[in-house]
Structure 1
Amino acid sequence: MSKFNKEQKIEIYRKWKDENISISQLSKAYKMNLANLDYMLRLIDMHGTDILNTGKQVYSKKFKEQAIEQAIFGTKSYVQLSLELGFKSIAMLNKWLREYKENGYNVIIKQKGRPARGQRESEIAQGTGERDPKAERRKLAIAYCERIRKKTAGLGSRKRSEEIAKAITDLRHEFKVSLDYVLEAIAEHPGLPIIARSSYYKIIKRKPKKPKRSKLIAKIKEIFNYHKGRYGYRRVALQLLKDGWKVTEKTVRYWMHKLGLKGIRRNKRKYSSYKGTIGKIASNLIHRDFFAPMPNMKWYTDITEFHLNDEKLYLSPILDGCGGDIVSYSISKHPDMDLVMTMLDKAFAKETALNNCIFHTDQGCQYQSPQYQRALKLQGITQSMSRKGNSMDDGLMENFFGLLKTEMFYDQEYKYHGLQELTQAIEEYIEYYNEERIKSRLKGLTPKEYRNQASINPVF
């Protein structure tokens, strides 16, 4: 947004507010990122045009600490909180959170210029490199918040207390600290749920009830049917453990065999967009090292084809290498540049700060085009391509397409009476895949759960 002066920004705002010109139209007219434009308009709408008068802000350590605490322990989205705090940049809060974790859960305020004579660098950095007891407690409280927030929502008081007690026990073992230490760390953040010391001991002394065989069988059937046969015994066992059942894979495999419940097996068919070398071929920067410790570090895409009643449908998704979640996608009857560029527009509107992202594809004609390569360059994204004839160089994307078609399309074509129904089914599956389908590699988490976790605690 810095390329526009105050008067131009006010002009854009007036067109949106008074002339009812849509954000997407303004984005195209002024060649602005859709998400950044939306943020600017909402910021002016909330604070008035005077917000544009302020120069570069210098924030105190106390202010940063309060903002970071609200982001981690509050319920508001980062965008909403950034708007309320009056940040001009949509990425500022994310940057603070990243620096906060990198610096051992301390807020660092680096002073400009050279340090005064005799003043230690660690003093200027306000604690860099030193073990800060407060930071250790904050780290514990954040870990507790991540474990408990979603699990306790909608539970009764007994179940809620049991989940809290379990989280506290896990943290005692993980951080090797006493119960009092954990309770004190949690109590420093009034918004976090907590139980009394006496209640904790009462809960952990309860003997866990052994599930009756009939209940276990019913639960296995429920999980298998809910996921439409997409779960084999390993994933059913993971879901049972996630739901609190004390079972082993061997037990689940035995009962699924007895009940005749067999997961869907894969079937491979592939669409190829390779038309030879028609543009610039990028180097392979991935080298089959597919996974990333944080979201938006490694992206993958490809186009897959669906044949239905002598008609064709094409899907172009972006898959993130961190948790394997689908960042954005587009569906069309034609595998043209509009399909790919629509997918990119959706991704760029949703995600910002992509300067460190490597975007990997095969050598399809769409990805060799100057239009596609220019769009990546404008976002600061580095392009990567598989070697010719090496499909496994794009193995993560191939794996997703295999899952998608096996679990909702192959041998199920009779369910869809036209491309419209098939499109709806694909959209529903991608939402299910992101939000509900757990993965063994992600330790029983869904791609979205893992993405959220990795955003706070990257796994390096």
Structure 2
Amino acid sequence: MSKNIYNEFQIKELEKNPNVLNASERSISYSPKFKIKAVKDYQAGKAPSQIFLEQGFDLDMIGKKQPKTCLRRWRNTYERFGEEGFLTERRGKGSTGRPSTKELSVEEKLKKAEAKIKFLEAENDPLKKARRVREAGVEKETILTASEKFALIEKTIRVHQLHNAVSYLCELAGVSRSGYYDWVKAAPLRAQRDEQDELDVALIRKIFISKREKVGALQIKMIMENDYSACMNHKKIRRLMSKYNLITKIRQANPYRKIAKATQEHRTCPNLLNRDFNQSVPGKVLLTDITYLYYGKGQKAYLSCVKDGATTEILAYNLSTSLEMDIVYRTLTKLKEAVDGQFHQGAILHSDQGMHYTHPRFQSEVKKLGLIQSMSRKGNCWDNAPMESFFGHFKDLAEYKSYDNLQDVKREVDRVIGEYNHDRYQYGLNKMTPVQYRSHLLAA
């Protein structure tokens, strides 16, 4: 057995030589024909290294001492058994000349038994980890990638020194032996990629932290392109975020939503949009709704907003601690101020069938502004999906829950909506912010 340790690339190169039957990490099996020829050439006066070189062997790969060692062993076999010694059973009297197995000492037997125990532990451990046997308290099975399985096999072999168990461990883990050796061979490339990942994740982490850990891969990509003139594939950003555990804070579903009953005087309006929210004209489709904001120690505030369906810009909003009708009246007043009273001809104000929007006075105020009122179908949140989507994003971005007073909550609302309108790039807006996209549409 050679003292050299061959990697997968070297093993493949060795096995291309017709004089090699097979190769492994620590040994090379030469063909009987080559052994016989090598012995005869040696007897004819050729040097061992010359014999190997003429047969296409790279001495730097197999080791410069390897030809001399092999020839010494093969010559002894040839002198004892002749050519038949290479052509018959490799074990017993027709062996290659290697020392026969001697009686093991007690210490050697103990070491062999210990190695066997390690092997038995290894054959169970990768299978258990690779398949992630479901245990109590684990709700779903986690499947390791092929790369993770290869890393597990390599670690098991390295820790327990089980270099002859590669095929068995690969079989247990459900991966190919050649794939494992390809993975081992690619270690320098992985190290190089890890170095590059360290450089690339620096900017991702900077943006992620600056946005209070509330942006995903697409948002980071657009911020990089617009604010840092850097380009990176969103799939790579997502991979690096996963690799470096940059987990975006997401909202939790609110299990309870209070629904107020309308009086008989309340009247609904037909759904004029039919989910055609974006008509590519700023100010033509206006969406409105109210959401709950819980802050402090069980305190509650309500946020009423109006969103432009074409640009997704929040045109007006009002924060209140009461659900009285005044919250929507103030929102309408702020909407009128935002557009200087110049509404788009035929502009539609769309909402759900909440009590505020079916109220006779509210409907009267909407008509005074020259707006046409539209409503979602009953119990169908998809009919006002863009507004629901904004509230979801808002609750991801805003950090109002820890505040104890309404003024702090209001400042946080102002900050988040201002950032949403002016700084939050959106793929659906050609990677522009809502304000930029409004200017773009008006210019077009």
Query: TM-score scaled by structure 2?
Result: 0.52
Equivalent residue for 1:372, pick from 335, 338, 362: 362
Equivalent residue for 1:312, pick from 288, 291, 300: 300
Greater CA radius of gyration, 1 or 2?
2
CA displacement at 1:354 relative to structure 2:
3.2
Q: Please say if 1:423 is aligned against 2:427.
A: no
Q: Distance in 2 between matches of 1:271 and 1:447?
A: 29
What amino acid maps onto 1:275 in structure 2?
Answer: K
Q: Please say if 1:244 is aligned against 2:229.
A: yes
Judging changes above 3 Å, is the alpha-carbon distance between structure 1 residues 219 and 367 closer, same or farther for their aligned structure 2 residues?
Answer: same
Verify the 8 A CA contact 2:425 2:432 in the aligned structure 1: yes
Verify the 8 A CA contact 1:438 1:446 in the aligned structure 2: yes
Q: Distance in 1 between matches of 2:229 and 2:217?
A: 17
**Residue matched to 1:279:** 266
Q: Distance in 1 between matches of 2:321 and 2:271?
A: 30
Equivalent residue for 2:382, pick from 376, 383, 392: 392
What amino acid maps onto 2:229 in structure 1?
Answer: G
Q: What does 1:30-429 align with in structure 2 at a 5 Å threshold? A: 215-242=199-226, 243-269=228-254, 271-276=257-262, 278-308=265-295, 309-351=297-339, 352-409=342-399, 413=401, 415-429=402-416
* 1:159-183 deviation digits (Å, cap 9, x = unpaired): xxxxxxxxxxxxxxxxxxxxxxxxx
Q: Distance in 1 between matches of 2:216 and 2:259?
A: 32
Verify the 8 A CA contact 2:300 2:321 in the aligned structure 1: yes
What amino acid maps onto 2:261 in structure 1?
Answer: K
Q: Distance in 1 between matches of 2:410 and 2:298?
A: 16
* 1:307-365 deviation digits (Å, cap 9, x = unpaired): 23132111101011011110011111101111111111111122113332110011111
Q: Distance in 1 between matches of 2:430 and 2:245?
A: 26
Residue 417 of structure 2 aligns to a residue whose secondary structure is helix
**Residue matched to 1:62:** none
Q: Distance in 2 between matches of 1:226 and 1:278?
A: 50
Residue 277 of structure 2 aligns to a residue whose secondary structure is coil
Q: Distance in 2 between matches of 1:215 and 1:417?
A: 40
Verify the 8 A CA contact 1:267 1:406 in the aligned structure 2: no
Q: Distance in 1 between matches of 2:421 and 2:257?
A: 23
What amino acid maps onto 2:337 in structure 1?
Answer: A
Q: Please say if 1:438 is aligned against 2:438.
A: no
RCO comparison, higher one (Cα < 8 Å, 6+): 1
Residue 302 of structure 1 aligns to a residue whose secondary structure is strand
Q: Distance in 1 between matches of 2:235 and 2:353?
A: 43
**What RMSD over aligned residues (CA atoms) do the two structures have, in Å?**
2.0
Aligned residues: 244
CA displacement at 1:274 relative to structure 2:
4.0
CA displacement at 1:213 relative to structure 2:
5.7
Residue 316 of structure 2 aligns to a residue whose secondary structure is strand
Query: TM-score scaled by structure 1?
Result: 0.50
Q: Distance in 2 between matches of 1:340 and 1:374?
A: 13
Equivalent residue for 1:453, pick from 420, 436, 440: 440
CA displacement at 1:299 relative to structure 2:
0.5
Residue 340 of structure 1 aligns to a residue whose secondary structure is helix
Verify the 8 A CA contact 1:299 1:357 in the aligned structure 2: yes
**Residue matched to 1:101:** none
Structure 2, unaligned stretches of length 5 or more? 1-194
Judging changes above 3 Å, is the alpha-carbon distance between structure 1 residues 272 and 445 closer, same or farther for their aligned structure 2 residues?
Answer: farther
Verify the 8 A CA contact 2:352 2:375 in the aligned structure 1: yes
Judging changes above 3 Å, is the alpha-carbon distance between structure 1 residues 234 and 257 closer, same or farther for their aligned structure 2 residues?
Answer: same
**Amino-acid identity (%):** 30
What amino acid maps onto 1:314 in structure 2?
Answer: Y
Residue 387 of structure 1 aligns to a residue whose secondary structure is coil
